[in-house]
Structure 1
Amino acid sequence: MTLVPDPWWLSAGLAAVLFLDAIASIRPPTFIRVCLDGVNFPRDWWWSLIVIKLAAAGGLIAGLWMPGIGLATNAAVILYFLAASYAHIRARFLKHEFWVNCLGMLVLALLALVFGFLV
């Protein structure tokens, strides 16, 4: 196991996807609105997801130079999407938004962790 991602581009790619997701969430397109409404996430709290995703993107980028930061952030991103998956299952909202958006991001974060830090 390493404390700095190798290859670096896995963490950078995950950071880029999270950053773009956060920017898109400022004025959420239909698929994001449907997803958040489907799990009954209060609209008054949608802003918090933007902050979380921007902080995660920043942590992943900082982790390219600061040992341990990227690893901790990557683990937190996995926990975030596990919680999102639980919310989908609990709400019984298992449409394509769950399979593509939520589980897709979870798989991306897992791949970045495994191949960037563990292998």
Structure 2
Amino acid sequence: MTVLFTAVILCIAANAFIAVADYARAGFVLKNSAEVRAPAAALPYLATLKLAGAAGLVVGLAAVPWLGVAAGVGLVLFFLAAVAAHVRARVFHNIAFPGLYLLLAVASAAYMLDGAVGS
């Protein structure tokens, strides 16, 4: 369980980081969005979803386990869509990034589910 807990902490940090980069319209974010044909106007909305997922994981760890489960599942769905966008656009050179975020989200959902069921 220590590995999964570490994955949750990494997932929170990674999603908070990328949400800030999305809000700031960082160059690498704009480039990636253009490559996968995601409109730049969608970035603040995507950032908000990532930040909400990270916040939900924090609240899930601290007080409301089922909110953490919902946040973890939401992030899994979000990053499944991100990987699908890369595949659809045939952008494989950086697919490892949404893939890593997806793995962190899956581990987080598993950890949170175990905690919610066990409590």
1:1-119 equivalences under 5 Å are: 8-64=5-61, 65-95=63-93, 97-99=94-96, 101-118=97-114
TM-score in terms of structure 2 length: 0.80
TM-score in terms of structure 1 length: 0.80
Say whether the 8 Å CA contact 2:80–2:102 is kept in structure 1.
Answer: yes
Answer 1 or 2: higher relative contact order, Cα 8 Å, separation at least 6: 1
Q: How many residues align?
A: 112
Compute the RMSD of aligned alpha carbons. Answer: 2.2
Cα shift at 1:78: 0.5
* Identical pairs, percent: 28
Cα shift at 1:7: 6.4
Which has the larger helix fraction? 2
Q: Where do 5+ consecutive residues of structure 2 fail to align?
A: none
